[in-house]
Amino acid sequence: MEAAVISDSKQFLVFRLDKEEYGVDIQKVTTIIEKDMAIARVPKTPDFIEGVINLRGEIVPVMNLRKKFNLPAVEDTEDTRIIIIKLEDLAIGLIVDSVAEVIHLSEDSIETISSFSAEVSLDYILGVGKVDGRIVTLLNLEKLIKI
């Protein structure tokens, strides 16, 4: 597994999918919005690409993380959010069940793992963080968003 650079202390945005908690590098998050707009379907795209939305005049593709991680689909709730992340000049939204908080993780509290449950492919995982007795799976955004 490729080792990503984790500097002294990083901040992660924690969100929930199903019963699990996941984290993404806060530096890459530009905004969090409610899922209250129509998502235009785009033909000939993978299943987990829900479509595109109009984000203040910019067209942003949106990925359904449940579908991406092969979790069963559920109805949207009040808490459903779209996390807009920006990698270099590429913007993309991630549909998540809810957004929890922002946590700090120092390098020691992040573990790289060699095996994991079947849901999430190892490729996408930077490591696992432990905070307050909870386990947060840290996602590798570059791998997740690979074109």
Q: Which long-range contacts (CB under 8 A, 24 or more apart) does 127-136 make?
A: 127/6, 129/12, 129/23, 129/103, 129/105, 131/103, 131/105, 134/21, 135/21, 136/12, 136/14, 136/21, 136/22, 136/23, 136/103, 136/105
CB of 25 to other proteins, least distance (A): 18
- Complex with other proteins: residue 105 or 124, whichever CB lies closer: 124
Contact residues toward other proteins (CB under 8 A) are 37-38, 40-45, 49, 51-54, 57-61, 89-92, 145, 147
Nearer to other proteins, 42 or 102 (CB): 42
Q: Nearer to other proteins by C-beta: 16 or 28?
A: 28
* Termini Cα distance of the chain: 19
Nearer to other proteins, 59 or 102 (CB): 59
The 8-class DSSP code of residue 122 comes to: G
Q: In angstroms, what is the minimal distance from the CB of 130 to other proteins? A: 33
Lookup: tokens for 52: 């595109």
